[in-house]
Amino acid sequence: MLFAHEVKFMMGAVEIAGLPPADLPEVAFAGRSNVGKSTLINAVTGRLHLARASNSPGRTREVNFFVADEKLRLVDLPGYGFARASRGDVKKFQNLGRDYLRGRPNLKRAYLLIDARHGLKDVDTEALDAFDTAAVSYQIVLTKADKLKPADVEEMVARTLTAVAKRPAAYPRVLATSAEKGTGIPELRAEIVAACALAE
């Protein structure tokens, strides 16, 4: 029900000093640049064009904040692994994401999005390490699960769980989602509400 209320874009921050006050619980979405972060945020909030999805991976160059019912913020972190930008610019906005993770006391959980067709890649290891170092509770969310057969999705969930089992900050449940079909979206909403201790 939380997401049935008003959800709006709040602001984009290009440096840590520009972040909003840490006065609401936040959940953050991270992942490779072409994993479908914006599409998933739109699906979770039930809005078509809240977060700007792009055919050009790596378009998110800032930390974008969306506020739901004035009770919760969803945070879209810059993607990693591919971006049509100079190396210096890429490093700058990826460091911004890391700084956000390290210094945000109201961050209740981060969701690391992984393409269900490809699973965890070497490039994701750096993100996992960043979460563990920052001691931020994070959960793996598989995207584009509709592109696989159900048995293959189950196998990917199990393989991913095994891969993160020994990581100290990893939440011990992997969610398989499809923004296109709506699969797993109610479960993800429920996880967000529970992580932020928000009563429905």
Strand partners, 80: 32
List of residues 6+ apart from 59 with CB closer than 8 A? 33, 52
Q: What is the pLDDT of residue 186?
A: 96
- Determine the residue type at 8: K
Between 88 and 41, residue with greater pLDDT: 41
Q: Which residue has the tokens 């984009």?
A: 12
Q: What is the pLDDT of residue 94?
A: 58
Q: Three-class SS of residue 198?
A: coil
Percentage of the chain modeled with pLDDT above 70? 88
pLDDT of residue 93 exceeding 90: no
Between CA 176 and CA 184 the distance in angstroms is 6
Give, as one character, the DSSP assignment of residue 125. H
Where would I find the beta strands (DSSP E) of the chain? 7-13, 26-31, 63-68, 72-76, 107-115, 138-143, 175-176
Handedness of CA 105, 79, 91, 137 (dihedral sign): positive
Q: What is the pLDDT of residue 84?
A: 45
Q: How confident is the model at residue 56 (pLDDT cuts 50, 70, 90)?
A: very low
Give, as one character, the DSSP assignment of residue 17. G
Q: Measured at the alpha carbon of residue 42, what is the angle toward residues 37 and 43, in degrees to the nearest 5?
A: 95
